[in-house]
Structure 1
Amino acid sequence: MGWFTVFKRKKDAVLPTAAAVQQAADTADTKVDTKRLNGASVHDGQGIFLIYNYLQQDFEEKGYHDALTSPDEGYKNDNIRLIRYDLEILIHQVKTYHASLMKDLEFHIHSRSRAGLIDLVDELKIKQTDLLAHIDKVRELEDSLQTNSGLCERAILAYKRGFMKGMASITHAHLLTKKF
């Protein structure tokens, strides 16, 4: 009886049709085409965009909820330090990513120029100048992290504001609503 169920399962297995495979390939081609605009690719969420995504988090809400969890000044300061450390780790990660990408670009520029692919080399050089601009921007962000200014300070200020709102909410809920 066991052998018959094994064969039945194999028979019932659905294999993708040629039409389904072609549709998946067309969808993949469409995704690639939408990532390109006149030869310039849209960012892929890597590099400096990881830092921007981190800085655009809602740190105010995080601070508010942290204050409701533990309205302690030491807890707030520890979380601010964690924000800074996470940003520092992210900056180092992005710098490593950029260095690796620059090596890849340089290799492709040299090998494609030897092959005589002039237009491709020109596109790669444009990408390289964009990457150099991103590297400079990451350096600026790293400097602003060290000097407590700029976009990095925005995250910390938002967290502090949220934490203060959370503490005010606790006070309002526990003391200001009571009648004497």
Structure 2
Amino acid sequence: MRWFTIFRKSKDTQHAAEAPPVNAETVSANSKPQLNGASIHDGQGIFLIYNYLQQDFETRGYNDALTSPDEGYRNDNIKLIKYDLEILIHQVRTYHDSLMKDIEFHIHSRERAGLIDLVDELRIKQSDLLDHIEKVKAFEQAVQTNTGLCERAILSYKRGFMKGMASITQAYLLTKKF
């Protein structure tokens, strides 16, 4: 009996090794959204700022309130949110500046080579990059004035912090019987 199970196991492992992974091509093909051969976005540049601002600041504020329900602690964390956003904006501006230099170099060199269609595509990319640079400047101004999406992140954090403080009060004081 044992011989049969040994042979069965070796055949099963052999078939498993020969079987291709399920949807391997679709996973690799869909890993980066494509539009006419160009990526929509690569998670760099302004998209880093959007990703940061889409964080769940409310849960973060709630957890911080459970850690230390102190107004000074809350204000420090709000400052940290703003400072982190400022750092991110500076990183994105540096990335955009470097990318703009690369695009300008490629435009000039490909223009000299007579690659007109490629130069036109590069100018479209350059135009998109200029739009992103303007949006980053708007983010930078919003951080300085506490408006826009920056204000949304701070309000969300404050709301979570208040919910955390209310949760502490409800758990410890409102459940007590006098």
Partner residue of 2:44 out of 34, 43, 46: 46
Structure 1 equivalent of residue 150 of structure 2: 152
Deviation of residue 73 (structure 1)?
0.5
Residue 66 of structure 2 aligns with which residue?
A: 68
In structure 1, distance between residues paired with 2:30 and 2:119:
24
Q: How does 1:4-43 map to 2 (within 5 A)?
A: 30=29, 35-43=33-41
Q: State the partner residue of 1:142.
A: 140
Matches of 1:148 and 1:118 in 2, distance apart? Answer: 45
> Which 4+ runs in 1 deviate beyond 4 A?
26-29
Local SS of the residue matching 2:173: helix
Letter in 2 for 1:167: M
Unaligned runs of at least 5 residues, structure 1: 1-19
In the TM superposition, 1:105-144 aligns within 5 A as: 105-144=103-142
> Structure 2, unaligned stretches of length 5 or more?
1-19
Count of paired positions = 156
Q: 1:163 aligns with which of 161, 164, 167?
A: 161
2:91 equivalent to 1:93? yes
By how many angstroms is 1:36 displaced? Answer: 2.6
* Aligned sequence identity (%): 78
- 1-side partners of 2:29 and 2:37: how far apart? 15
Distance 1:35 1:114, change over 3 A: farther
1:41 Cα deviation after fit? 1.9
The residue type equivalent to 1:87 in the other structure is L
Query: TM-score by structure 2 length?
Result: 0.83
Compute the TM-score of the two structures, normalised by the length of structure 1.
Answer: 0.82
**SS of equivalent to 1:176:** coil
Please give the alpha-carbon distance, in whole angstroms, between the structure 1 residues aligned to 2:73 and 2:50: 25
